[in-house]
Amino acid sequence: MAGALEIDSVSPNVNGKLEILTDDLIPTAVVPEPLPKVVTAAGGGPSESEEDDEGLEKPPKKSREIVLGRNVHTTCLAVTEPEANDEFTGDKDAYMAGVLARYRKTLLERTKHHLGYPYNLDFDYGALGQLQHFSINNLGDPFIESNYGVHSRQFEVGVLDWFARLWEIEKNEYWGYITNCGTEGNLHGILVGREVFPDGILYASRESHYSVFKAARMYRMDCEKVDTLISGEIDCSDLRVKLLANKDKPAILNVNIGTTVKGAVDDLDLVIQTLEECGFSHDRFYIHCDGALFGLMMPFVKRAPKVSFKKPIGSVSVSGHKFVGCPMPCGVQLTRMAHINVLSSNVEYLASRDATIMGSRNGHAPIFLWYTLNRKGYKGFQKEVQKCLRNAHYLKDRLRAAGISAMLNELSSTVVFERPRDEEFVRRWQLACEGNIAHVVVMPNVTIEKLDVFLNELVEKRSTWYQGDIQPPCIAADVGKDNCVCALHK
Residues 42-81 touching its own copies, rule: CB under 8 A, are 42-44, 47, 50, 52-53, 55, 64, 66, 68-73, 75-81
Q: Taking CB under 8 A as the rule, does residue 397 contact its own copies?
A: yes
Q: Taking CB under 8 A as the rule, does residue 197 contact its own copies?
A: no
The β-bridge partners of 286 are 252
Binding mask 230-269 for its own copies (x = CB under 8 A): ----------------------------------------
Show Cβ contacts of residue 43 under 8 Å, excluding neighbours closer than 6 positions.
Answer: none
- Within 278-307, the residues that bind its own copies by CB under 8 A are 299-303
Q: Taking CB under 8 A as the rule, does residue 196 contact its own copies?
A: no
The beta-strand segments (E) located in 67-217 are: 174-179, 201-205
Do 291 and 330 form a contact (C-beta atoms < 8 A)? no
Q: Taking CB under 8 A as the rule, does residue 201 contact its own copies?
A: no
Binds its own copies (CB under 8 A): choice among 149, 464, 467, 469: 149
Show Cβ contacts of residue 260 under 8 Å, excluding neighbours closer than 6 positions.
Answer: 207, 209, 292, 432
Task: Tell me if residue 412 is catalytic.
Answer: yes
CA triplet 409, 180, 362: central angle to 5 degrees? 145
Do 293 and 263 form a contact (C-beta atoms < 8 A)? yes
Do 176 and 167 form a contact (C-beta atoms < 8 A)? no
**Which of 70/247 has CB closer to its own copies?**
70
Q: Taking CB under 8 A as the rule, does residue 175 contact its own copies?
A: yes
The nearest distance, CB 123 to its own copies, in angstroms, is 8
- Within 339-378, the residues that bind its own copies by CB under 8 A are 340-341, 344-346, 348-354, 357-365, 370-371, 373-378
Residue among 83, 254, 284 at smallest CA distance from 185: 254
The nearest distance, CB 160 to its own copies, in angstroms, is 9
- Within 408-447, the residues that bind its own copies by CB under 8 A are 408, 410-411, 426-427, 430-433
- # residues near its own copies by CB under 8 A: 193
Q: Around 93, how many Cα atoms within 13 Å sit in the side-chain half-sphere?
A: 6
The nearest distance, CB 190 to its own copies, in angstroms, is 11
Do 307 and 313 form a contact (C-beta atoms < 8 A)? yes
- Within 7-46, the residues that bind its own copies by CB under 8 A are 7-9, 12-13, 18, 21-22, 25-32, 34-44
**Which of 430/436 has CB closer to its own copies?**
430
Would you state the torsion angle of the CA atoms of residues 68, 70, 75, 78, taken in this order, to the nearest 10 degrees? 140
**Which of 250/329 has CB closer to its own copies?**
329
Show Cβ contacts of residue 343 under 8 Å, excluding neighbours closer than 6 positions.
Answer: 191, 192, 195, 350, 355
Show Cβ contacts of residue 9 under 8 Å, excluding neighbours closer than 6 positions.
Answer: none
- Stretches 234-242, 246-254, 271-279, 392-400: which one binds its own copies (CB under 8 A)? 392-400
| Active site amino acids | 412
